[in-house]
A = this chain, B = another copy of it.
Amino acid sequence: MPDFVSNDQGDLFSPAGFFGCVLRGIGQVMLQNNGYAGFLFVAGVCYNSPLLGTALLLGAMVSTATAIALGADRTLIQAGLFGFNGGLVGIALLVFLQTQWMTWGYLILAAIFSSIIMTAMLSLMSAIKLPVLTMPFVMASLCFILAAAGLSHLQATSSLPPTGFPQYLIAPGNVTLLTIAKGIFNGIGQVFFQENIVTGILFTLGLAISSRIACAAALSGSLAGLLVAWSMGAAESAIGSGLYGFNNVLVAIALSSFFQKPRSVVLAYIILAMLVTPIALAAMTAALQPLGLPTLTLPFILITWLFLLAGEGFSKIHIEKSQN
């Protein structure tokens, strides 16, 4: 494996040092400060779509370079904290906007913007000791996707949800064993907005290399999200494509990483989060329907913040929070 995949915290200005930050940044999409995981995540995206793989790398490079150029905290840059938002912005813009020359410039600007938002939020959230998570990605992406409506040189793809008033689902379709098998791995693939089982498996391998707990959390999270959604009558297509899984995957990884020792009450607390996350997803999907916007990782962010904040106030939980 090439040298720059290493986790060595080298010189930011050497190519190897820079690419190390970028790959760890891509690893941080699943909260892994690990270049090998990042490498497998890139591989997984490229397997499904070389175009999106390129957008992922470009976005992560631009946002990391922005942080270096403006003098952000060196330790945070080396931990990849300025790569994951830009990388996800890169994928999201090419999924939801048509790929024209203008789109690439737009993508670069959005990736730069994501590092401004990241720095602003790091300062804001440090006061309440919460990790920023992927909020800068969500804010930059929703802003740039929504803005395209008024800017005729940018046009949406059919991946954007149609605008409309929320409507009650009547016929959800039949969930089969195949739906569940697909759903588990698509749920992991959808963390990078990829609906592809092989991609999901490559991501799982990347997680396994970095942390067995994170890998187990991701698989159980994907399954949990899917089962909760199914039990409440969510649409079969959404379940099979992993849409009800990926926020649960991220919540499970995030909450399990904030523990010191697993105890049964903490496990119950995480299971509670698993039950609530698909409901938050369904709510936000309806809330964004008049604007025709995807929810991205917003349910993950809000549920994780809530459970981390509340954890502090419950003497039986006392989750240890790390900076992110």
Binding site for B on A (CB under 8 A): 69-73, 102, 106, 109, 112-113, 116-124, 127-128, 142-144, 146-156, 163-172, 229, 231-235, 238, 265, 269, 272, 275-276, 279-283, 285-287, 290-292, 305-307, 309-310, 312-317
Residues of B within 8 A of A151 (CB): 169, 229, 232-234, 279, 282
**CB–CB A146/B166 < 8 A:** yes
**CB–CB B166/A152 < 8 A:** no
The DSSP consensus for interface residues of chain A is helix
Residue of B nearest to A109 (CB): B275
| Further pairs besides A113-B272, A147-B282, A152-B168: 20, Cβ < 8 Å | A69-B265, A70-B269, A116-B272, A116-B306, A124-B128, A143-B280, A146-B286, A147-B286, A148-B282, A149-B168, A149-B282, A149-B286, A152-B171, A153-B232, A155-B168, A156-B168, A163-B165, A165-B292, A166-B292, A290-B290
CA distance A310 to B148 in the complex (A): 25
Residues of B within 8 A of A155 (CB): 168
CA distance A271 to B151 in the complex (A): 20
CA distance A232 to B113 in the complex (A): 17
State how many angstroms separate the Cβ of A231 from the closest Cβ of chain B: 8
Residue of B nearest to A280 (CB): B143
Answer whether A70 and B314 are a contact pair too, CB < 8 Å, given A166-B292, A309-B124.
yes
Residues of B within 8 A of A316 (CB): 69-71
Chain copies in complex: 3
CA distance A290 to B282 in the complex (A): 16
Residues of B within 8 A of A72 (CB): 313-315
Between A and B, 23 residue pairs with Cβ closer than 8 Å are A70-B265, A70-B317, A112-B272, A120-B305, A120-B307, A123-B128, A124-B309, A143-B283, A144-B283, A147-B279, A147-B286, A151-B233, A151-B282, A152-B172, A153-B231, A154-B232, A156-B168, A163-B166, A164-B165, A165-B291, A166-B292, A286-B291, A287-B291
Answer whether A317 and B283 are a contact pair too, CB < 8 Å, given A153-B233, A169-B151, A310-B119.
no
Answer whether A309 and B123 are a contact pair too, CB < 8 Å, given A165-B290, A171-B152, A282-B149.
yes
Q: Which of B168, B287, B313 contacts A120 (CB 8 A)?
A: B313
CA distance A292 to B291 in the complex (A): 13
Residue of B nearest to A160 (CB): B168
**CB–CB B290/A291 < 8 A:** yes
Residues of B within 8 A of A233 (CB): 151-154
CA distance A167 to B123 in the complex (A): 36
Residues of B within 8 A of A310 (CB): 116-120, 123
Residue of B nearest to A285 (CB): B150
Residues of B within 8 A of A287 (CB): 146, 291
Residues of B within 8 A of A127 (CB): 127-128
Answer whether A286 and B123 are a contact pair too, CB < 8 Å, given A109-B275, A291-B166.
no
Residues of B within 8 A of A238 (CB): 150
Residues of B within 8 A of A285 (CB): 150
6 smallest CB-CB distances across A and B, nearest first, come from A71-B315, A152-B233, A153-B233, A120-B309, A147-B282, A71-B316
